[in-house]
Amino acid sequence: MSPKLSPSFLLSLTLSSLAPVAWGGCPFQNPFWFLDTPSVVKIMDENGEMIPNQARVSWGLLKNFQCVDYFQVEYFDKKNPGNIQMSERINRHRRSVDIDVNPCTEYSFKDFLPLRIGRG
């Protein structure tokens, strides 16, 4: 004798089989990585003079950049590694950001932090 299935169970089973599987934008993926090496260059004013308290961090193409809403550059003075500075939020479509630096100071760039805005 086989068990009797209720009509509500059959209806819920039918509806669940019709629902599509919905994955987030980046299931099981590393958020992003660089296809080109980032670089830091000096910034020149309109007269061709170097602006001593600014630098431009540039990068090329990113893989899986659609997995990131924005990111930030983390950097610090090599003589004072405990004083970490952060850039502003950078739109994922940008390829450079200008940062404030102290003249005649050597900096290290710790990380590009990928950040996602919570989605409900």
In a domain, 6, yes or no: no
In a domain, 18, yes or no: no
pLDDT per position as a tens digit, 25-84 = 566 566 677 788 888 999 999 999 999 999 999 888 878 777 777 888 899 999 998 889
CATH code of the domain containing 44: 2.60.40.10
Which pLDDT score, from 0 to 100, does residue 79 have?
Answer: 92
The share of the chain scoring above pLDDT 70, in percent, equals 65
pLDDT exceeds cutoff 50 at 14: no
Which pLDDT score, from 0 to 100, does residue 85 have?
Answer: 92
In a domain, 1, yes or no: no
In a domain, 109, yes or no: yes
Domain interval for residue 66: 28-115
Which pLDDT score, from 0 to 100, does residue 10 have?
Answer: 37
pLDDT exceeds cutoff 90 at 12: no
Q: What are the CA-CA distances from residue 31 to residues 1, 11, 37, 40, 65 (Å)? A: 53, 39, 17, 23, 7
